[in-house]
Chain A
Amino acid sequence: MWKKIIMKTTFVLFALVILITPSSGIVWTCKYENPPYGPIEIKYENPNFPDKGIIYALTPQRHPIIVPGELQLLQLKSNVCEEVKLIIEDTEGNKIAEYSKKADIPFKNCDIPNDADQGMINAIKRSKGFLTYLFFKAPTEEGEYYLKLFDTQNNLLRTGVIEVPSLDSIAKVTSREAYCNNSPTNFFTIELIAPHPVIVKDDSAGEVQVTIREPSTSEIEKIFENITVSFTTSESVGIELQPKEGITCSDDECTKTYLLPSSISTSGILTVWEDLGNGGRSSLNSMVVSVVDANTVVEISNKLDRLYNTSEELERRYSKEGIKEKSEKWGEIKEELVKIKEGITSIKKILDKQKLTLRDVKEVVNNIDNCKENLNRLSEKIGGIL
Chain B
Amino acid sequence: MNNKVVVLFIVVVIAIAIFATAYYYYESIKLREKKLESDIERKQINEDIEFIKEALENLSNAFPETNLPS
Contacts and interface: CB of A to CB of B under 8 A. Distances in A.
Contact of B45 (A197, A267, A372, A382): A382
Nearest to B46: A386
Given A300-B56, A310-B45, A292 B62 contact: yes
A350 interface: no
Nearest to B53: A375
B56 A307 contact: no
23 contacts: A61-B65, A62-B63, A266-B61, A267-B64, A296-B55, A299-B51, A299-B55, A300-B56, A303-B51, A303-B52, A307-B49, A310-B45, A317-B36, A323-B29, A323-B33, A326-B33, A365-B63, A368-B59, A369-B60, A372-B60, A379-B49, A382-B46, A386-B45
A59 B59 CA distance: 21
Closest 7 pairs (CB-CB, A-B)? A265-B62, A62-B63, A290-B62, A303-B48, A317-B36, A59-B67, A292-B62
Q: Assign chain B's interface to a size class.
A: 20 to 34
Given A310-B44, A378-B49, A264 B58 contact: yes
B5 interface: no
Contacts of A267: 61-64
A224 interface: no
A291 interface: yes
Please report whether the interface of chain A is mostly helix, strand, loop or mixed according to DSSP: helix
A297 interface: yes
A197 B33 contact: no
A306 B44 contact: yes
Nearest to A307: B48
Given A73-B66, A306-B44, A386-B37, A368 B29 contact: no
Contacts of A318: 33, 36
A37 to B, nearest CB: 13
